[in-house]
Structure 1
């Protein structure tokens, strides 16, 4: 106990070891899907699925450990969704390059991020985001997380006519997700510590009962997988097929730079958006709307990306699901440390952990959306040059299904409105530079 207190300053942050461990477990449970989803996406490039599973767990554990000890923040890291799809379907699929070349691009991206973090460029960008947009980012991420939860549970589904529509509420998995959401909220209202974590477990147990009684019928083609683990322990697959396989040859320099820039851009603003949103919710920002020791958090992200590429996986980034652990009381690196331990445990207990269904983790994501949207009351709506950028940031994060796209539209509208309404004196040089690169990104 003294070791953890000395490392993470639990009393100073008004938290306890139990709270932090439960928060770390909650974070892990809400992002455990990445253990199988990331290998599933990257394996279409010809990479070994088993090796990818090991790389995903190890890279995530390294990233979480770095966050815990570099920054003492409760943020978890893992190979990012979207970035892995770009890796597999664009760089390797559309462009036709080998996965070894894509890994080389991710490795270089990580090195660039280490440099940018060292010279405070990423910190300057974070600090340049206006206060109202920081609050809006927190709200937008909350809505984005809740929407992901609704999708994962199939409460809302894709629709060709209206983009999204209601799912089949009579489906056992949808019904279980809805029941799980109410159960989780009951635990929250009753101030149960670790409410989100226990909500996940209760929903999963209900699912197992439904499977045993025939209400939930396994149908793999329909995405209805068995909720009962097929085993307990398994040996981790070897990393040998994909580790240290970077290839810097066989690609024109300009194309290689373009690929690196794409990885760099999405990772940079997804990470900054997540840090802004979750930090705002957790109350980590100081009186100047700055995040103390942000350099440690950014270094953790950069080092994890570089190490992940060497292990054989796509860009490792700060996960938006970290908000679930923060909402469960996580306030220090002990939360991230706990998440890291569970990623390592997952290497040996994957038959159990990969059985947790998405409808069991979805209620936690939906409830986190409720927690994070509360910051909307702190946004200044009296000045429309502040209100509209905040509004469009929230809207585009959901509509474009991207944290970084929300920030792009928010920053560009903020700068344009300030300039066109005679308030350009309120703009700082960094936000102007950011807006210029955002405009380039949209045009290109």
Structure 2
């Protein structure tokens, strides 16, 4: 049978039924991004207020871009690399794209998409040339681990802010919001629903939590959900498709801020992909004698997914750790990934449902995913203060400065200084010093330029 031969099912000890069930399982655990990503990216469009034609137009386009970016990258992973790994726009990077790059730094969303595109090209080049290994060795492990956790705190903070659970305060900067407000109540209920379902190992717990929160928000006592329908025609993607070329000019290539944005996208995407792919490959038993077969094809699938996603109009596409749920169900080949991609494409007809889901329903998902991302902290050697301090600086400065880039920059500056003056200069890679100096110049002279 063609399918069995193409995906080498027998060789991998699996069958079509198992692969399809694994694909459905993975899809259910990551489908929340279809609703969460447009809810985040819509913030970059001036004047796009809920209910307006502009909001509906761009929300639909971002939703289609999310689905097409995820489906394309996942198909490449399945058909070319033959691995059961699914990809989609990454959590954290979408928030950085919207709230830091566009809203805080004032960079037009189309130029931000160009930065994502450039980052993807760099990722492709490093993969093709084999420089990937050099970059991995140059960046301290503690910084890489703290980055993931810091992003978790960052997106959790955004979720709490969206729900009105955390609000601004003149005296203390932030404080606890009014928990009797409908949005806050719906978000709190949603968080408990997701947490309990996840603890009970219910497949698709985050997606179910979002949908149940949406239903709760529709109750008259809350009124935060405005029903727009469930199934409808596929939205027009033209508002975002290839728009990265509209504003991007050669002068942007001379902007320090632009390259910091590119580097931040690359740094997070690169090391998130490295950690996720390695972890998934280990759990599936793909790594033999320390070797990861077809590793370059897997990394290339991720890199190409990012560049294609930017063309469609979405933030960085990356490999999803939720693929582990499909692997646990027995998924061992690219047929699992292809199943995920097909299900993603079917979601193109559910744009009205996406418009129905309120921010109060996606906020608990942000907070919960933030919790999951803190797991990497246990891998940091907190007993070595020269590792702990840079990690802490990276971790804490992301949410407090509302910027992933600032956290990475300050962490990379702190690491070589603390290590060197503590008598551990040999532990510092020379390229780490280069990054530290460049980031120092950026923070002092170029930030905001």
Please, what TM-score do these two structures have when normalized by structure 1? Answer: 0.75
The answer to whether 1:182 aligns with 2:183 is no
SS in 2 for 1:32: helix
The Cα shift of 1:87 comes to 7.6
Counterpart of 2:85 (choices 66, 73, 79) is: 73
Whether the 8 Å CA contact 2:40–2:98 is kept in 1: the answer is no
Whether the 8 Å CA contact 1:111–1:302 is kept in 2: the answer is yes
Whether the 8 Å CA contact 1:42–1:88 is kept in 2: the answer is no
The answer to whether 1:395 aligns with 2:405 is no
SS in 2 for 1:164: strand
The Cα shift of 1:413 comes to 1.1
Whether the 8 Å CA contact 1:327–1:368 is kept in 2: the answer is no
Tell me the equivalent position of 1:83: 97
Tell me the equivalent position of 1:233: 232
The Cα shift of 1:350 comes to 0.3
Separation (CA, whole Å) in 2 of partners of 1:349 and 1:297: 30
Q: What pairs with 1:285-304 in structure 2 (closer than 5 Å)?
A: 295-296=296-297, 298-304=299-305
The Cα shift of 1:24 comes to 2.5
SS in 2 for 1:397: helix
Separation (CA, whole Å) in 2 of partners of 1:243 and 1:137: 30
Distance 1:171 1:40, change over 3 A: closer
Whether the 8 Å CA contact 1:24–1:337 is kept in 2: the answer is no
Distance 1:250 1:32, change over 3 A: closer
Distance 1:362 1:439, change over 3 A: same
The answer to whether 1:59 aligns with 2:57 is no
The answer to whether 1:216 aligns with 2:222 is yes
Tell me the equivalent position of 1:29: 32
Whether the 8 Å CA contact 1:42–1:87 is kept in 2: the answer is no
The Cα shift of 1:157 comes to 2.5
Whether the 8 Å CA contact 1:177–1:363 is kept in 2: the answer is yes
Q: What pairs with 1:2-401 in structure 2 (closer than 5 Å)?
A: 6=9, 17-18=20-21, 20-35=23-38, 37-38=40-41, 41-42=44-45, 49=58, 54-68=64-78, 69-70=80-81, 72-77=84-89, 80-83=94-97, 107-108=117-118, 110-208=120-218, 211=219, 214-217=220-223, 224-226=224-226, 228-230=227-229, 232-237=231-236, 239=238, 243=241, 251=249, 253-258=250-255, 261-275=259-273, 295-296=296-297, 298-311=299-312, 313=313, 315-318=315-318, 322=320, 325=322, 340-401=341-402
Please, what TM-score do these two structures have when normalized by structure 2? Answer: 0.74
Tell me the equivalent position of 1:221: none
The Cα shift of 1:180 comes to 2.3
Whether the 8 Å CA contact 1:77–1:301 is kept in 2: the answer is no
Separation (CA, whole Å) in 1 of partners of 2:302 and 2:413: 26
Whether the 8 Å CA contact 2:217–2:225 is kept in 1: the answer is no
The Cα shift of 1:419 comes to 1.2
Separation (CA, whole Å) in 2 of partners of 1:179 and 1:151: 16
SS in 2 for 1:165: strand
The Cα shift of 1:424 comes to 0.7
Separation (CA, whole Å) in 1 of partners of 2:299 and 2:157: 27
The Cα shift of 1:278 comes to 5.1
SS in 2 for 1:186: helix
SS in 1 for 2:356: coil
